[in-house]
Structure 1
Amino acid sequence: MAKIHSASRDHDVALQGAILLYGTDLSAFSYATAHRIVTDAQTGRPVIGAGTPLNRRALIQAVRQVAEASLPKGEFLTPNVLSIGPDAITWWCPPGNRRVYFNCEELGDRSAMTPHPGLVFHASPAGFRVFALMEDERPTPESMLYEPPYFNTWDHGKICIGTAHVPKQIDAASIAGWEGAFFASAFTHPNHGGKRVDYDDGFYAFWRDMLDGRFPTFPKAALIPMNQSLGNLIAGQF
């Protein structure tokens, strides 16, 4: 028994049958047979049973049935969603005050409401990513991305999830869970890689001043450009 996760679905499936394709090579199939899966009496393992030839109509029907079952169900898209595909979703988080948590030797165990820039989040099977924005309004494909000004992030906006509990599904309904996992996790350390903020006294001093309430709004002058656009992110070009 296997568990299948897809957009707006979560269900168990079991191996029922197999279709074997025959041909001169992997790009030239000319014959197909359908087989039931039976259980080996001695080992209990599933094995491919005897087959029957599949004609064109039966083969097309089998492929169509699988294709229809794998399609994600339609779902309402809120204005913060920027792009959604079969296995990835990108959304925007407007600038504002949000609570952050820190647990590190340099800053101690601290929590405070601090200002944040506009953010772009991207979730896919390859990982969870975050980027900062210079503008305050909903971004366009031409909007330029900036380094996320946060601990626990790698280059290219990759988030070190650690022990955070992120959703198992990647869909619009799970956005709140992805955001919550990011902001509710404690920032513990700056990851190796490029600079995340441009601040005279460094990364720790930046967040010390942020936690102390030095800035009523996020200091955008500290943002570092990535020379990549939102359109490039959505197109999978970096």
Structure 2
Amino acid sequence: MKELYDITPELGQLYFPKSALIFYQTEEKTPDAYVEYFDMDHTGMPINAHPLTVREAKALTKALSITDEKVNCLQSHGIMDSHILHVAPLNGKAIWFTKSTQRKFCFTENLNLPNGKAFVPPLLWIANRQSLTLFALASNHRPTEKTMLYHAPFFNIYEDGKVCMGTVDVRIEKTASLEDFIRTWEDHFFNSYFSHLMAGHNPINGNCVSLWGNLIATGERFPIEVLKKSNTTFKDLLK
């Protein structure tokens, strides 16, 4: 006969029964209920039955509390604004759009462009706590699943829309509200220095340097016709 040996130490962390709850309820139309609490002896048998005390109820509440910080992430301060398109708190992800407006730009010296304000096209933002993806839109209308997306006409963005933040220290709290999350990403993007095109990707029909130089000098509205289609729809981002 083969020798038997105890494998309990190899099973990892063990959990032992310490207490049990039994819920009682009357059979009336408006039932009444109460909870009985049992301790467990060393053999796992229930003993010492008594009504659940306030102290024990508090201990149970603490044990059942969800402490994952992701649950509190991206909670709105109130009614969500219509520019918010999709929120996935458990993934820390949000999608929103902004209408055409003036933004402040800062450029590195190698571009030979003056810093200043210029109009940008409507934009579609996709972000989590670590990364940002950006596309342009052809109009200020709220996008639908069928809306065609365009390449964002900026420097520092890859062809797939991923934004290179360079040395920018992106700091977003794990429990940031939806409003703070959006504001922080928009500030990070437009307060960073635009420096170069990524991997040879020209995001517009024309010269990107000349475009921004002209928009800053004239204050004209962004010319939507220079945008390039990305072959991506809003629905593609939700897969």
TM-score category of the 2 structures, normalised to the smaller one? 0.5 to 0.7
| Identity level (%) | 23
* Match runs of 1:6-155 below 5 Å: 33-34=14-15, 52=16, 65=64, 68-70=66-68, 71-72=71-72, 74-75=75-76, 76=78, 77-85=80-88, 86=90, 87-108=92-113, 110-125=114-129, 127-155=131-159
Following superposition, the deviation at residue 188 of structure 1 comes to: 1.2
Following superposition, the deviation at residue 210 of structure 1 comes to: 2.1
Following superposition, the deviation at residue 139 of structure 1 comes to: 1.6
| Residue aligning to 2:193 | 186
| Residue aligning to 2:235 | 231
List per-residue Cα deviations over 1:183-203 (Å, max 9, x = no partner): 11111111114320101xx22
Alignment partners' CA distance in 1, 2:224 and 2:200: 21
Gaps of 5+ in 1: 1-21, 23-30, 35-51
Alignment partners' CA distance in 2, 1:164 and 1:126: 12
| Residue aligning to 1:204 | 209
TM-score, reference length from structure 2? 0.66
List per-residue Cα deviations over 1:84-125 (Å, max 9, x = no partner): 0022111111111111111132324x2121111100111125
Question: What is the RMSD of the two structures over their aligned residues, measured on CA atoms?
Answer: 3.0
Retained in 2: the 8 A contact 1:167–1:178?
A: no
Amino acid at match of 2:14: T
**Count of residues in Structure 1 that have an aligned counterpart in Structure 2:** 182
Q: Structure 2 vs 1, CA of residues 89 and 107 (structure 1 numbering), >3 Å: closer, same or farther?
A: same
Q: Structure 2 vs 1, CA of residues 79 and 54 (structure 1 numbering), >3 Å: closer, same or farther?
A: farther
Amino acid at match of 2:138: M
Following superposition, the deviation at residue 162 of structure 1 comes to: 1.4
Following superposition, the deviation at residue 134 of structure 1 comes to: 0.3
Give the ranges of 4+ consecutive aligned residues of structure 1 lying more than 6 Å apart after TM superposition: 54-57
| Residue aligning to 1:159 | 163
Amino acid at match of 1:219: P
Retained in 1: the 8 A contact 2:156–2:196?
A: yes
TM-score, reference length from structure 1? 0.66
Retained in 1: the 8 A contact 2:204–2:226?
A: yes
Alignment partners' CA distance in 2, 1:192 and 1:164: 19
Gaps of 5+ in 2: 1-10, 22-59
Following superposition, the deviation at residue 148 of structure 1 comes to: 0.7
Q: Structure 2 vs 1, CA of residues 69 and 114 (structure 1 numbering), >3 Å: closer, same or farther?
A: same
Does the residue aligned with 2:172 lie in a helix, a strand or coil? coil
Q: Structure 2 vs 1, CA of residues 54 and 192 (structure 1 numbering), >3 Å: closer, same or farther?
A: farther
Q: Structure 2 vs 1, CA of residues 193 and 105 (structure 1 numbering), >3 Å: closer, same or farther?
A: closer
Following superposition, the deviation at residue 171 of structure 1 comes to: 4.6
